[in-house]
Structure 1
Amino acid sequence: MRIASDKSLTKSGNACALPVGNFGDEDFRFVFYYSIFPNMLLSLHPDYVMVHQLQPQSPERTLIFCDWFFNPEAFERGDFDPEDAVSFWDLVNKQDWHVCELSQKGISSRAYEPGPYSARESIPAAWDREYLSHLR
């Protein structure tokens, strides 16, 4: 995904840390998202890496761990503040989880019929296909 202002996905929109790797100018403008089946989501940002681990507890409940990783040299700088990224994703995650909760309620209805994913939802669509292939 291209970062809108070519900076970072943080509350301020600015990078919150040193780059996590050697990026070319073009790669520094993108976030790369990966889904590692069955329970890991990997988000590679120019200034941090975020990992979500999902641990199903029951059909209606999942425990989610979210960890951030930063360039080790960032911790040595006096201006390093990961809160800009962490608070941004805390807000986004809570919004996403609310949508998931609403979806779970809808799916449990006898009247439920799945609809198509939008073109922007390629990762959830791919995850669903992979999940269904393991059920067969």
Structure 2
Amino acid sequence: MSEATFKSIILEKKRQVFESRKANAFEVGSSSGKKRKQTYEDIAQKRQAKRQKDQVEGDVAICSKYKQRGHRSARSPLCPQGILSKAQVIRANLGDNYKAYIRKLGFDNCVSDTYHTKLQSSVIKACSTVRHLVFRAKLFVDYYV
């Protein structure tokens, strides 16, 4: 068989696979466990069902930290003892009329020359120790799993 014949066979097979996937695009999963692409309508239906579920369960939801009804977590604005965001904490402590200034400062500029070499070597040693520890932990987890 010639090269052109092989090409035409491969192209025909690709076309058949593409057409079968296009016809079965609405299937999320199959018996073989392979995932298929979902259509826009399926995604929209799932989103709508999830919103309806959240609306129905909104009154039944129980806070995981304080065990109160009406919200799911302490991060919720509905929680009376909730955890505030960083912006809310700054606003509560400093008010609305504040400005934050950020200035980057190099290691050489912020450390005195007398402590420079000793501190730098200590920081480098600590960082390398942590790096080796993380690397060994990853190896152990990979081996164990």
Which bracket does the TM-score occupy, shorter chain normalised? under 0.3
TM-score (norm 2): 0.24
TM-score (norm 1): 0.25
- Structure with the bigger RCO (C-alpha within 8 Å, sep 6+) is 1
Q: Which structure shows the bigger proportion of residues in helix conformation?
A: 2
Larger radius of gyration: 2
